[in-house]
Amino acid sequence: MVVTTRVRLNRLSSSTRNAGLTEEVFLGDEIVASEGYVLAVRILTDKSNYNVMEDTSGRMVELRSGDVMAGTLGSRRALRGYAGEVPSVISVGDTIDVLNLGGILGRCTSQNPDIGPPFQAEVLGAVLSFPALGDRVGRPAHIRDRAIAPAEVLHCTVPVVYVAGTCMNAGKTVAATELVRGLSRGGLRVAALKLTGVSLMRDALSMRDAGAVAALTFNDAGAASTHAGMTVPVARGLMNKLVEPLGARPDVIVAELGDGILGEYGVQDILRAPDLTKYGAAYVMAAPDPVACWGAREIMRDDFNLPITVITGPATDNAVGRDYITASLGLPAHNARRDAEGMIERVREALEVWHAANGGAA
Residue 73 bridge partners (DSSP): 105
Query: Are 101 and 54 a contacting pair, CB within 8 Å?
Result: yes
Give every CB contact of residue 231 below 8 A, 6+ residues apart in sequence.
195, 196, 218, 265, 266, 267, 269, 270
Question: Tens of pLDDT along 271-330?
Answer: 999 999 999 999 999 999 999 999 999 999 999 999 999 999 999 999 999 999 999 999
pLDDT band at 361 (very low <50, low <70, confident <90, very high): low
pLDDT band at 81 (very low <50, low <70, confident <90, very high): confident
pTM for this model (two decimals): 0.94
- Return the ∠ at Cα 359 (arms to 354 and 360), rounded to 5°: 65
Above 50 in pLDDT, residue 262? yes
Q: What is the pLDDT of residue 36?
A: 97
Question: Tens of pLDDT along 132-177?
Answer: 655 667 899 999 988 999 999 999 999 999 999 999 889 999 999 9
Above 70 in pLDDT, residue 212? yes
- pLDDT above 90: percentage of residues in the chain: 87
Give me the architecture of the 160-357 domain, per CATH.
3-Layer(aba) Sandwich (3.40)
Domain residue ranges in the chain: 4-140, 160-357
**DSSP string of 229-289?**
TTHHHHHHHHHHHHTSTTS---SEEEEEE-S-TTSSSSHHHHHT-HHHHTTEEEEEEE-SS
